[in-house]
Amino acid sequence: MNYLKYVIFSSCITVILSSIGCGKNCKDAKYSFSMQESFSPEEDSISIGDTLWLTSYHSSTFKDSLSKKDVNFSNSQIGASIEIINFPDTSQSVTGGVYDFQIIKIYGNEIGNDNIPSQNKGYYYQEIDTNYLLKLGFIAKQKGVYGISLGNSIGVIQRKGSCEKATIEIDNSNTDIHLYYYENFFPGEPVSNYTKTHVYFFKVN
């Protein structure tokens, strides 16, 4: 069973609930956008006390994948959920890994409605001038093998009182996500496309 696929998918629910606030019967998302995130340093392992950095940014003007037009989507609350999963040596079940890291915030604001606090933590992108920015540091406190991801942003509403909505696909842009950590933990299991495009794996020594 592709455990990570189902664990990570739950993070999208948090963002849906936190983004709906126009007080009207909003229709389905009108726009479909995409953006990227990356983790650095791009090493397959770090040491306790080291910091893994997440960086994600995009201008407030997006290319709508449906109409192929540029859309100014400023003054919106783009939220996404950080998911951290631990792959323990003594079990075939993954566990939440949020508490194994000290999280420092450079850009972004906490959402505060995490559905599984040990596993995920929600953040809003910070809008500065004409850009949306999210930059977080994860200082390792425990040894282990981990998968970390930034979930897609679903049902984002533009401007307070508006019902123009967007779905934002947030893909990982790292050259090497060290997928073999997942494959070693679940040998022979199929790997979902979501896992391949959203999750970054690493070890803490």
Tell me: the pLDDT tens digits for 5-46? 444 434 443 344 344 444 455 556 689 999 999 999 999 999
pLDDT for res 194: 93
Which of 50-54, 97-101, 141-145, 187-191 has the least mean pLDDT? 187-191
Q: What are phi and psi of 201, to 5 degrees?
A: -110, 145
* Residues 15, 79: Cα–Cα separation, whole Å: 6
- 63 vs 10 pLDDT, higher one: 63
What is the DSSP secondary structure assignment for residue 67, as one 8-state letter?
T
Would you say residue 96 has pLDDT above 70? yes
- 104 vs 13 pLDDT, higher one: 104
Q: Residue 145 in 3-state DSSP? A: strand
Give the pLDDT confidence of 43-61 residue by residue, as tens digits. Answer: 999 999 999 999 999 999 9
pLDDT for res 7: 46
Helix and strand numbers (H, E) in the chain are 4, 16
pLDDT for res 15: 45
pLDDT for res 102: 97
Mean pLDDT, residues 85-94 taken together: 88
Of residues 73, 89, 172, the one with CA closest to residue 125: 73
* Residues 182, 195: Cα–Cα separation, whole Å: 9
Integer angstrom CA distances of residue 164 from 3, 14, 81, 192: 34, 19, 22, 31
